Amino acid sequence: MQLLHWRLSLFYFFYFSSLGALVPFWSLYLDYLHFTPLEIGQLIATLAVSKVVAPYIWGWVADRTGFHIRIVQITSLLSVVCFMPLLWFDGFWTMLCFMLLFSFFWNASLPQFEVVTLGHLGKDLNRYSQIRLWGSLGFIATVIVLGALFQSISIDWLPVLLLGIFLFIWLSSLQVSEYGHQELVSSSIWSVLKQPRVIALLLSCFFIQASHGPYYTFFSLHMESLSYSRFSIGLLWSLGVLAEVVLFFFMHHLLKVKSASYWLVIALLLTTARWLLMAFYSDQLFIVLIIQCLHAASFGMFHATAIHLIHDFFPQHRGRGQALYASVSFGAGGATGSLYAGILWDKVPASTTFLIAALLAFIGMLIGLKVKQPASVIAG
């Protein structure tokens, strides 16, 4: 079992290493290629747009066939193949097309790997966060290394480095086996989707991820405009994910105290506070450090609770349940966030954009109050 946990952790490490390269540095790379803020927002949104559709398509296939890890392995390999043309093509439309094709496969693997991880854990679901934290450590390591590296080499090397990371994602997926006996699903998912608590959960996921749009798309450029070096920006990104790691390490204790639905609302409330601080105090380093520490709530706490709730609410459709979570939050929410951030960034002050982000998180919190989970349902 210990060896299995390390193999699961290794996939998370490399998958989120790719995010550690994409999220902080891809917008800087696109800026290096002289794309406008609107074009950058559109290209970043492309990564999220495919996540609206791709995870559910692959989730449906996985639920019907029972081959969750096989889907991960196939889509991880195809994402490597489809990313390769980005090493040579840098026109807007060609880049948009290849990013859309690549992300169709790349976005499909993580939701199904979540199903595999939770399936292997069985009744030890509270241990999920202790495996998932290795993804955060991968993100931190990549951000620090690349932040230092791009101080001395051109960011033009980013696509080559990313291709190497995507290759390691595929190789690590080959080390994980399918979990147990897979019962094929033939019943309809609509009876689950009609439940008010499920609708409220998915809407909360959408709003919190949409609120992250300005942060994920323009935080690096915003900090650069405030005279921070790329290495310093990398450290700030790392601080946020380090706070997330700490949260993941202790999350199973929190879930023994209160139900996941309780921590969901707390995460949304703290996310609202995070974007308000970003709107008014992003020029003050001490406040920025606090803002980055709040990433523990806005991503870490929310993600850990959402994963538990989806697993609880979709007992017969876990492949599609995790896919819907990815599609609605990181897909539709992420695309919406990147698009409105790209439209507004060079037209209004950054503070206005982050105020909109705070409003979206607050709306998500109000909806999150409707995510009802019995008090007796406590992970672990």
Residue-wise pLDDT tens digits, 223-259 = 888 888 878 888 898 898 889 888 888 887 888 888 8
DSSP state of 212: T
What are phi and psi for residue 37, nearest 5 degrees? Answer: -55, -40
Mean pLDDT score of the chain: 85
DSSP, collapsed to helix, strand or coil, labels residue 5 as helix
Mean pLDDT, rounded, for 317-324:
76
For residue 375, the model assigns a pLDDT of 45
Mean pLDDT, rounded, for 2-18:
87
For the chain, the domains span 2-368
Query: Which pairs from 78-81 meet CB under 8 Å and 24+ separation?
Result: 78/105, 79/103, 79/105, 79/106, 79/109, 79/166, 79/169, 79/170, 80/163, 80/166, 80/167, 80/170
pLDDT surpassing 70 at residue 377: no
pLDDT surpassing 60 at residue 346: yes
Q: 218 and 345 in contact (C-beta within 8 Å)?
A: yes
**Confidence category of residue 365, pLDDT binned at 50, 70, 90:** very high
For residue 180, the model assigns a pLDDT of 61
Distance CA 302, CA 311 (A): 14
**Confidence category of residue 186, pLDDT binned at 50, 70, 90:** low
Mean pLDDT, rounded, for 81-102:
88
Mean pLDDT, rounded, for 154-161:
90
For residue 380, the model assigns a pLDDT of 40
What are phi and psi for residue 35, nearest 5 degrees? Answer: -75, 150
DSSP, collapsed to helix, strand or coil, labels residue 22 as helix
User: pTM for the whole thing?
Assistant: 0.75
For residue 183, the model assigns a pLDDT of 54
Task: Name the residue with higher pLDDT: 287 or 122.
Answer: 287
Largest Cα span, the chain: 56
Q: Mind listing the pLDDT tens digit for each residue in 251-292?
A: 878 888 888 888 999 999 999 999 999 999 988 999 999 999
Q: 309 and 205 in contact (C-beta within 8 Å)?
A: no
Q: List Cβ neighbours of 257 (8 Å cut-off, separation of 6 or more).
A: 378
May I ask the CATH architecture of the domain 2-368?
A: Up-down Bundle (1.20)
For residue 205, the model assigns a pLDDT of 93
Mean pLDDT, rounded, for 201-229:
89
Give percent above pLDDT 90 in the chain. 28
Alpha-carbon dihedral sign for residues 176, 177, 183, 184: positive
**Confidence category of residue 182, pLDDT binned at 50, 70, 90:** low
Query: Using alpha carbons only, what angle is made at residue 230 by residues 227 and 231, rounded to the nearest 5 degrees?
Result: 115
Task: Name the residue with higher pLDDT: 128 or 280.
Answer: 280
Q: Please report, to the nearest 10 degrees, the dihedral formed by the alpha carbons of residues 298, 275, 345, 211 taken in order.
A: 40
For residue 206, the model assigns a pLDDT of 95
Residue at token pair 């790691």: 245
**Confidence category of residue 79, pLDDT binned at 50, 70, 90:** very high
